[in-house]
Amino acid sequence: MRQRSLIAITAALAAGALTLTACGSRDGGDKNGSGSGSGGTTVTIGVDAPLTGDLSAMGLGIKNSADLAAKNANKKNYVKGVTFKIEALDDQAQPSAGQQNATKLVADKNVLGVVGPLNSSVAESMQKVFDDAKLVEVSPANTGPSLTQGPDWQNKKVRQYKSYFRTATTDAIQGPFAAQYVYNDAKKQKVFVIDDKKTYGAGLAATFTEEFKKLGGKVVGTEHINPDTKDFSAVATKVKKSGADVVYYGGEYPQAGPLSKQIKAAGAKIPLVGGDGINDATYGKLAGPDSTGDLATSVGAPVETLPSAKQFVADYKAAGYKDEYSAYGGYSYDSAWAIIEAVKKVVDDNGGKLPSDARAKVTEAMQNVSFDGVTGKVSFDEYGDATNKQLTVYAVKNGAFTPVKSGTFTG
Amino acid sequence: MNELPQQLVNGLLLGSMYGLVAIGYTMVYGIVQLINFAHGEIFMTGAFGALTVYVYILPDGTSMWVALPLMLIGAIIVAVLVAMGAERFAYRPLRTAPRLAPLITAIGLSLALQQAVWAWYPDAKSARTFPQIPGGPFHVGNVTIQTGDIFLLLAAPVSMAVLGYFVMKTRTGRGMQATAQDPDTAKLMGINTDRIIVVAFALGAAFAAVGGVAYGLKYGQIEFRMGFILGLKAFTAAVLGGIGNIYGAMIGGVVLGIAETLATAYIADLPGMEKFGSQSWADVWAFVLLILVLLFRPQGLLGERVADRA
């Protein structure tokens, strides 16, 4: 009977291996020296983002942009006597890895602020760890409304953690903004809604659906995909059968690209619409030539068109990073810069030195930070959300997302 | 529009891919009773081998009709070399060790191969696009078949026929059967069992490589993690069909693929089941099917009830 029990053990191991791969190379934090500066105190800005795995294109953009902010602050000697450097850790888009990174960053006394993470689900696992240590966290990319406004955000907003801020706009604005564009401008009435069941994707799909119905549109089908596979042919066939004239996908580009491709291959030549999670340069490549006309909303105005962003783009190029700044580059720079501003305020108030309770002071100072950043005016409301509520719709043209319409969501 | 034929074709295609990979699991298991968990990664390296031939060896703009056979050869060479290397350096030293040792080695090797491709293959940190066969989709009735799928539809049965001929008719093939039945007696009869084992690994890798090329053509992209879930599914298919039986691997793959597809397509339409019908539940239904089959036929669909050795 040994063989049969062997198969049983094997199956158990297989299940174990599934979870194991999630935490391979957990120690992938690069230590980037960021210029030497003027000596004195060194302040570390932690960065947590997926630096490996299929979301690494966005994660590396976040890391490099934060690094650029630290370098610029050092070059300008922006905070006298303080040199900034970044410590980037890889969360592989996994909440468990994110929490370990958070613990690691908290343990390092030089860390006075953290930029990241990319994923709302990862943020959920990190918030409490940072809050207990009074360590400020500024996410450039989290869009899940409950992170700042609590699980019951639609009825009663409650600030969750005093140490959590974000420069990104929430799904509570992004989903409805997309719905308005799809219904009013693109004139689509029958939507098939798909999500990946993650915090970000499901949340976005829900806020989109609600607004789309309110406007008078019809939801002709819903589907939840398994983000681990690339075979969406069964779903694509369902979409075609439903007679939808547009697909809304709440999720990220590694799945959105193949999904769009397979929907078109199944014979439904209808646009796929998504949020900032699919707005990546890789999307057009993954989705193929038929993806022309697919839409993505993204927070803020397009980085390339803002005058304040030209400098950022030029600096980024000059710094010679290997990877693109991607969808969140500008927000990551602003997140890191917000931490730098807060540190500056604390140091200035304390006669040019870091106080002993620097972390708590920096968190306090963050609430009132206000400056003109890469993406426009950067400041935070009473929940820790960005006050800048601008959004842009992008459409795929020649394989790349190009801006079509910017606007502010007014509800 | 009746979508059933289309969904059956979707399932058949997905299942054929599972089947091509499952053959490797089943052959190695049949001969050395090892579940080679690195097999999914061998499938992945095969796909990258094909991509290497197209992107780095052939001149730009080579027609796919010329490139495809060469890519297939490249894929098979890479996958077979990786599999033979794995057998020689990871599994053979553990041949006499308790069975769990090579199993854990296989899991470790699987992770190592993934990370190696991630780290050293150019631009493999995110998905890489795979060349596509030109030409529009074909319509048979209301079923749409993509050009990339044609390859899979042809490759799977042809591979099975070749394998069947090889195992039944050639000397090496009969040696494999003998080794599978009783390695010690086979050795006494003058069969070089070490060589037979290498052949089993190599053959499994070759079919996985064909599967890898089919994956690239079908989905238009390959990535370092593509073999992991697919490998687990293929292993499931091998168990479903009766592990150790090569035809069972293909049948198990097709049954699993169709089950997943139909679960996605229809379960939500059953009254009260809307919540359990989405694609994210398809795996659950596929495994429910596996459990049911194993309850009534513990040896799998085509497996034979053999007396357990050891």
pLDDT given at position B181: 87
pLDDT given at position A38: 44
Does A179 lie in the same domain as A165?
no
Element housing A42 (H / E): strand A41-49
B45 falls within a domain: yes
The answer, yes or no, to whether residue B47 has pLDDT greater than 80, is yes
Mutate to test the interface with B, among A58, A224, A231 (most CBs of B within 10 A): A231
Question: Would you call A259 an interface residue with chain B, using a CB distance cutoff of 8 Å?
Answer: no
Does A119 lie in the same domain as A62?
yes
Contacts of A226 in chain B (CB under 8 A): 279-280, 282-283
Does A146 lie in the same domain as A224?
no
Report whether A390 contacts A300 (CB < 8 A): yes
**Residues B115-149: b if buried by 16+ CB within 10 A, e if exposed:** bebbeeeeebbbbbbbbbeeeebeeeeebbbbbbb
* Shortest CA gap B77–chain A (Å): 25
A3 falls within a domain: no
A267 falls within a domain: yes
B139 falls within a domain: yes
User: Which of B7, B11, B229 is the closest to A228 by Cβ?
Assistant: B229
| Overall domain count for chain A | 2
pLDDT in tens, B178-198: 998 888 899 999 999 999 999
Question: Which chain A residue shows the shortest CA-CA distance from B307?
Answer: A1
pLDDT given at position A54: 78
Residues A334, A65: Cα–Cα separation, whole Å: 9
pLDDT given at position B309: 40
CB contact under 8 A, A240 and B3: yes
In which residue are the tokens 């999904």 written?
Answer: A259
- The answer to ipTM > 0.85 is no
Does A255 lie in the same domain as A158?
no
Question: Which of A38-52, A309-323, B243-257, B270-284 bottoms out in mean pLDDT, i.e. has the lowest?
Answer: B270-284
What SS3 string covers chain B?
Answer: CCCHHHHHHHHHHHHHHHHHHHHHHHHHHHHHCCCCCCHHHHHHHHHHHHHHHHHHHCCCCCCHHHHHHHHHHHHHHHHHHHHHHHHHHHHHHHCCCCCHHHHHHHHHHHHHHHHHHHHHCCCCCCCEECCCCCCCCEEECCEEECHHHHHHHHHHHHHHHHHHHHHHHCHHHHHHHHHHHCHHHHHHCCCCHHHHHHHHHHHHHHHHHHHHHHHHHHHCEECCCHHHHHHHHHHHHHHHHCCCCHHHHHHHHHHHHHHHHHHHHHHHHCCCCHHHCCHHHHHHHHHHHHHHHHHHCCCCCCCCCCCCCC
Question: Which of A6-20, B187-201, B222-236 bottoms out in mean pLDDT, i.e. has the lowest?
Answer: A6-20
A110 falls within a domain: yes
pLDDT in tens, A214-248: 999 999 999 999 888 889 999 999 999 999 999 99
A264 falls within a domain: yes
Cα dihedral A304→A307→A309→A313 (10° resolution):
60
Does A364 lie in the same domain as A315?
yes
End-to-end CA distance of chain B: 55
Q: What 8-state DSSP symbol labels residue A74? A: H
Contacts of B261 in chain A (CB under 8 A): 233-234
Does A103 lie in the same domain as A47?
yes
Cβ neighbour number for residue A222 with a 10 Å cutoff: 18
Q: What 8-state DSSP symbol labels residue A354? A: -
Chains A, B: CB contacts within 8 A come to 133
Question: Would you call A292 an interface residue with chain B, using a CB distance cutoff of 8 Å?
Answer: no
Does A227 lie in the same domain as A274?
yes
CATH code of residue A255? 3.40.50.2300
Does A125 lie in the same domain as A98?
yes
A55 falls within a domain: yes
R_g (Cα) of chain B, nearest Å = 20
Residues A92, A296: Cα–Cα separation, whole Å: 23
Report whether A194 contacts A249 (CB < 8 A): yes
Report which of A136, A152, A161, A120 is spatially closest to residue A383, judged by C-alpha positions. Answer: A161
B38-54 average pLDDT score: 96
pLDDT given at position A28: 37
The answer, yes or no, to whether residue B5 has pLDDT greater than 70, is yes
pLDDT given at position A24: 38
Phi, psi of A104 (to 5 degrees): -65, -45
Structural tokens at position A146: 């409950």
Q: What is the pTM (predicted TM-score) of this model?
A: 0.80
A279 is in which domain, residue-wise? Answer: 171-299+391-408
Contacts of A258 in chain B (CB under 8 A): 219-221
* Shortest CA gap B291–chain A (Å): 12
Question: Would you call A258 an interface residue with chain B, using a CB distance cutoff of 8 Å?
Answer: yes
B216 is in which domain, residue-wise? Answer: 16-225
B17-40 average pLDDT score: 93
Residues A28, B287: Cα–Cα separation, whole Å: 35
B231 falls within a domain: no
The answer, yes or no, to whether residue A127 has pLDDT greater than 50, is yes
Q: Which residue has the higher pLDDT, A71 or A289?
A: A71
Does A314 lie in the same domain as A221?
no
Report whether B290 contacts B239 (CB < 8 A): yes
The answer, yes or no, to whether residue B124 has pLDDT greater than 80, is yes
A56 falls within a domain: yes
A328 falls within a domain: yes
Question: Would you call A246 an interface residue with chain B, using a CB distance cutoff of 8 Å?
Answer: no
Phi, psi of A287 (to 5 degrees): -85, -15
A2 falls within a domain: no
B169-183 average pLDDT score: 91
Does A368 lie in the same domain as A245?
no
| Overall domain count for chain B | 1
Question: Which chain A residue shows the shortest CA-CA distance from B283?
Answer: A226
Report whether A391 contacts A298 (CB < 8 A): yes
Would you place residue A7 in the very low, low, confident or very high pLDDT band (cuts 50, 70, 90)? Answer: low
Does A238 lie in the same domain as A117?
no
Phi, psi of B54 (to 5 degrees): -70, -45
Does A80 lie in the same domain as A157?
yes
B219 falls within a domain: yes
